[in-house]
Structure 1
Amino acid sequence: MKKAGIIMIIGSLLLLGLFKFPLWNIMLGAPQYPEPLGMDIYIEGIEGVKEFDIQNIDGLNHYIGMKTIPKAEDMWEFEVFPIVIGAMVALGVIIGILGFFGKISYKWFLGWFVLMSVLGILGMYDFNQWLLEYGTDLDPKAIMKLLNPDGTPMTYKPPLLGYQKMLNFDVDSWPGTGAYMIFAGMMLTVVAFFVGKKEYKKA
């Protein structure tokens, strides 16, 4: 399964892009901001798209009682995620090498894909929970207290995926380059499974 092993190794290594490129991106646009404010979410922390974006977003959040955007040391995820990704890359490369030399079944390629899919779903769930807490756990002493039409306090949870209108802000939340590299890498491992299956039958 030489071809399958090589494809598996390449697919796994694509995950290393997460250490360089953002996993997710959230942009906030409004009439008073000709250039939208944005933040890139990496597996090791959150950075502004431009130099002062985080500072400006925190300034806006202060008025409505939202917490400041957390630093890397404030969230356990930014310590655990790099370890998980590094372990999955190493595991994928090992599986690819063993597959290359015919030491394991091609089914291991699919097993890696399933495991990575489960981890990805858990990661997205955790991210959504963070957005929910970030947008709903508001300071009761905030300068501005806005209410929904039914009288309940307004929440400011950004969308997990897509577009949402929040007050006078247009909020967009979309995968970053790192997320697309994960997707490409995972698809390659599926290709490795089918190529390995074909090579196994020929052998």
Structure 2
Amino acid sequence: MKKASIIMIIGSLLLLGLFKFPLWNIMLGAPQYPDPLGMNIYIDGIKGVSEFDLQNIDGLNHYIGMKTIPKADEMWEFSMFPKVIFGMALLGIIIGILGFLDKVSYKFFLGWFILMSVLGILGMYDFNNWLVDYGGNLDPHAIIKVTNPDGSPMSYKPPLIGFKKLLNFDVTSLPHTGGYLMFVGMSLTLVAFWLGRKTSVKKTT
């Protein structure tokens, strides 16, 4: 159980990488931009991959009526996410320490994983809703108006994950370093649960 508990603690600590590294990345490439424009999404705000990327993206978006990229204080998520991540990391560390001291069952490791998974799904759902609003709620007085073949207004929603063609832009949306650290950390807590269960079974046989 001690080995499982140490892995649980390490997995929880990896979540703290989200305070330094981006959770997600969206890149936009087009023939007129040899160097693609990009934005890194952190748990506490959005930054350009290069110095003027956000400014250039907002300039392009203005022509088709999209909103400007929100500042950190314009979205409640950017004040809530750091608290949630810190709280879950702290909870996981406490559970790991208690497991090391044989004060809690290995089942708490799985409970933490399920809770973190639910919070992650809710976060992805919220992020997708923001993308829908960002790419679909356009200014009707925009300079450029592009419609679908059926005449309906075209949505410029970036993909939640993967690749999408938006006019002459190739848009790619993928997890970044912080997102991968979170995935590895959560996977380690599953490993901790499996090891804890294996140890518990051995003790009872």
The letter of the residue matching 1:192 is A
Superposed displacement of residue 154, structure 1: 1.0
Asked if 1:169 corresponds to 2:169, the answer is yes
Q: What amino acid maps onto 2:184 in structure 1? A: A
Q: Distance in 2 between matches of 1:33 and 1:84?
A: 37
Is 2:10 the partner of 1:10? yes
Residue 107 of structure 1: aligned partner: 107
Deviations 1:106-125 (A, max 9, x none): 00000000000000000000
Deviation at 1:61? 0.3
Q: Encode CA deviations 1:52-98: one digit per residue, 9 max, x unaligned.
A: 00000000000000000000000000000000000000000000000
RMSD: 0.6
Report the Cα distance in structure 1 between the residues aligned to 2:136 and 2:183, rounded to whole angstroms: 31
Of all paired residues, the percent bearing the same amino acid is 74
1:48 aligns with 2:51: no
Equivalent residue number for residue 63 of structure 1: 63
Q: Please name the residue that 2:126 is paired with.
A: 126
Partner amino acid for 1:45? G
1:179 Cα offset (Å): 0.7
Partner SS, residue 29 of structure 1: strand
Q: Which residue in the other structure is 2:98 paired with?
A: 98
**2: distance between equivalents of 1:183 and 1:148?**
37
The offset of 1:155, in angstroms, is 1.1
User: 1:86 maps to which residue?
Assistant: 86
Supply the AA of the counterpart residue of 2:101: F
Q: For 1:21, give the aligned amino acid.
A: F
For the residues of structure 2 that align with 1:197 and 1:165, how far apart are their CA atoms? 47
**5+ residue gaps in structure 1?**
none
Give 1:198 deviation, angstroms: 1.8
Alignment-mate amino acid for residue 34 of structure 2: P
Q: Deviations over 1:136-195 (max 9, x none)?
A: 110111111111111111110000011011000000001111111011001100010111
Aligned to 1:26: 26
Is 1:77 equivalent to 2:92 in the alignment?
no
Question: TM-score scaled by structure 2?
Answer: 0.98
Read off the aligned partner of 1:112 and give its amino acid letter: W
Pairwise CA distance, 1:202: 3.0
Q: Supply the distance in 1 between the matched residues of 2:195 and 2:148 (Cα, whole angstroms).
A: 55
For the residues of structure 2 that align with 1:186 and 1:137, how far apart are their CA atoms?
35
State the secondary structure of the residue aligned to 2:8. Answer: helix
Using the TM superposition, give the Cα deviation of residue 201 of structure 1 relative to its aligned residue in structure 2, in angstroms.
Answer: 2.6
Query: Which residue is 2:184 aligned to?
Result: 184
1:62 alignment partner, SS class: helix
